[in-house]
Each structure stands twice: as C-alpha cells, then as structure tokens.
Amino acid sequence: MKNIVILISGRGSNMEALIAARDAGDLPVNIAAVISNRPDAKGLETAAKAGIVTHYIDHKAFAGREAFDAALAECIDGFVPDLVVLAGFMRILSEGFVRHYQGRLMNIHPSLLPSFPGLHTHQRALEEGVRIHGCTVHFVTPTLDHGPVIVQAAVPVLDSDDEAALSARVLRQEHRVYPQAVRWFAEGKLKLEGGRVRIAADLADGNAFISPVLR
C-alpha cells in the first residue's frame, strides 16, 4: 500500500474527499500525515479526528522560501511518502523542493489548464465568457500551475452563474477526480512519457494506455 502525505493551508475540502474515499475502501493508500503551513488550518482538526498524524510548520517563522521548503521537505520525508498531495496548499514551492519530489508531487487546480493559471480562476473564466470551465489534476513542475496533466473534469458555464455558483460546481468535480487520480497512482497505472501522462486501463494484461477526460 502506498504512503501519501497531504499538504493543506486551510479547510482542506479535497483532503476530506481523499479521506472519505479511503474510508469507503475506494482509495488503497495510507494517509501517513497531513501537514499545513498554517497552525490555524481547519483541516488539521479534521485530519486528527480521522486518526491521521498532523503537523504544522509556520512559514512565517522562516527567513525565506528555501528555508521553509527545506524544513517542510525534512518533515515530509520522515513519513517516507510515495506521493505528496497538494490539497489547497497556498504556497509557491521552490524549484529545489519540486525537483526533490519530481514525479510524485500532485496538485489540483480549479481550471482547465493551461487556461487560467494562478488565482481567481472562476471570476476570470466568467469575465472571459468561456462556455466550459473545470479542474485539472497534474504532476507539479517548477513552473506555477503547470505540469503533466493526469485528468480533467469539465463543467458548463451557465448564463446565470456568478463566481460562487461556478466555484461550487467545479469543486464537486474536484472531489470526484482527485481521489481517482491518487488511486491510479496507488495502483501503478500512471506513466510519464515525454512529459505526458499515460493512464493504463490495466497494466497487468497489457491494455493500451488511455487519457480520459471526465465530464
């Protein structure tokens, strides 16, 4: 069974979805720890109630990004994770940190990347008048909100939408596809080839790799 460590900065609703999938028997992983850069992150309490080890490392206590990232990596590595999962971790990570976990650092972003990297994705989608929006699970690279795409989920943008309504619709899809992506990793069904992710339907019987887009 694969070990994962989850990083959060706040409530951690995607963390909650991963815990729920684990508890339902749909996610064959051991959630070794949940770590936050904020001591008041609500998700730490949620994780502790679920029987998961929690830690916080306050980024404000460090002189710079690299010093914080070094302390964070030391904490993470103590749990010997196969995968590090960013679930609303609101920190830009240094290149050294990202490269240390290359191929085993996963993030979810609330847009159909490469569209709308960064913040305020839902409002920007509304302002641009796009008809399709969604979320993307990807492996992390040193470039912000960039990296090999694992899976995306699309939702329609309705004429009646405001930022809150569109955000809620996308979030429901985030909670569906993130556990799916982590499960594929845990089952050994993700393969990086030339900067792209291939997803094996069944590696054991040699089926072709597929790249589904979930709706």
Contacts of 193 (CB under 8 A, 6+ apart): none
Distance of CA 207 to the CA centre of its chain: 27
136, 155 in Cβ contact below 8 A? Answer: no
Active site residues: 109
Q: Calculate ∠ Cα 80-109-6, nearest 5°.
A: 20
Quote the distance between the C-alpha of residue 65 and its chain's center. Answer: 20
Closest CA to 19 of 5, 7, 31, 9: 31
